[in-house]
Amino acid sequence: MIYTCTMAPSVDYTTYLASFQVGGLNRANAVNYYPGGKGINVSRVLQQFNIPSTALGFVGGFTGKFITQKLQEEGIKTDFIQTKETTRINVKVKAEEATELNGPTPFISEKQQRELLKKISQFNKHDWLILAGSIPSTISSAFLEEIAKTCKQLGVRLVVDTSGQPLRQLMTTTPYFVKPNEHELGDLFNKKITSVDEAIYFGKQLVENGIQHVIVSLGAKGAIYLTDDCIAVADPVQGEVINTVGAGDSMVAAFIEQMTAEASKVDAFRYAVAAGSATAFSNDLCDRQLVEKLAQDVSVHIYTDRK
């Protein structure tokens, strides 16, 4: 079973305007409402591939009900922990330039954290847990380490896609698969990464520390995949970028979908790049048809063989 965990989900309210005037009245030409959060995005993309998953995390209030309802309408199972706080709304303004206003992450009590850990402790060997997105400040490093320790004891494949101190802390627990972007990778080593070679150098260090699969997303410069016997570099897919929100999450979902289908690691990476590109070229998350079309256009170069 695949479980996604979004500790600070959101309702993503996206507005589209011809122009945006600071300090004035702005009228949107169109709006969209989506259940948001990186783990939730992974579940939604997996559903596009007909891969079932269960969405975990913390929700509350009318926005929490909206998220639960929308996911269930898409056929996604949910097992959220209810909080007394209203789940945040993230506003995204699409005009001449994109502007975002994200709400604060929720307060998660120790009791609620224990409830999440209890759910994780009931997972089975070879299950997946995708821990993705912002980590609320009330969740300690010790609790994150406890999640990782529980996964390791049970044989659960832990996937990490977060940033900042939580990412640095979780890297010490050697998760199964991580997907930092170039900036997050650089933060891990207190280094500004400016080239593909530098990204490969530091990505290799994660693999040498015991992480089995690493994908480094480089935005418009493509992506890199590193494992113990291969380093592959994907050129960027050409197309009109409409929306970058969820592109990295789409990569995670597509890679896992291909790995569960027992595709080769390089083919799984190719599919992941296609999924990230498909989301970038869409208003919402990618759909399967576009991913499969773009996968034919993804150019992957084997950088080196480390056998």
Q: Tell me the C-alpha distance between 229 and 107, whole Å.
A: 42
Nearest to 270 by CA among 235, 244, 241: 235
Strand partners, 157: 128
Question: CA end-to-end span of the chain, whole Å?
Answer: 31
Record the tokens describing residue 5, joined without a space: 């965990």
Whether the Cβ atoms of residue 197 and residue 179 lie closer than 8 Å to each other? no
Whether the Cβ atoms of residue 216 and residue 185 lie closer than 8 Å to each other? yes
Q: How far is CA 250 from the centre of its chain?
A: 7
**Beta carbons within 8 Å of 240's beta carbon, 6+ residues apart:** 281
Q: Is 249 a catalytic residue?
A: yes
Pairing of strands 81-82, 2-6: unpaired
Q: Tell me the C-alpha distance between 172 and 60, whole Å.
A: 32
Which of 228, 249, 287, 297 is the catalytic position? 249
Which residues are known catalytic residues? 249
